[in-house]
Amino acid sequence: MTKDKKDWKAFKSTGLRELALTAPYMHNGVFETIDDVVEFLNKGGGDDKNKSPLLAPLNLTKEEKQALKRFCLSL
């Protein structure tokens, strides 16, 4: 912890290995399924005022979301 205000709410995310076995998801366990996570990220990751401007809506198609889920489950 640096105690620098720009680092507030920063955290190291865990790896994706064996993702199918590690529910609930996200740093706070707010999502029960990978589908929920994919949809959250597809919408741009929420509206927290400290969210990185690099996080924007992905606008994935249904097929792309399914492909992303299959990829995540393959890890």
pLDDT tens-digit series, residues 49-73: 888 888 899 999 999 999 999 999 9
Please report, for the chain, the start and end positions of each structural domain, with discontinuous segments joined by +: 19-46+56-75
Instruction: Provide the percentage of residues in the chain whose pLDDT is more than 70.
Output: 93
- 1, 59 contact by CB (below 8 A): no
Torsion of the alpha carbons at 19, 23, 27 and 29, rounded to the nearest 10 = 170
pLDDT band at 1 (very low <50, low <70, confident <90, very high): low
Residue linked to tokens 């299959």 = 70
- 40, 31 contact by CB (below 8 A): yes
Look up the pTM and report it: 0.76
Instruction: Provide the percentage of residues in the chain whose pLDDT is more than 90.
Output: 49
Exposed, middle or buried: residue 56 (CB in 10 Å: 0-12, 13-18, 19+)?
Answer: exposed
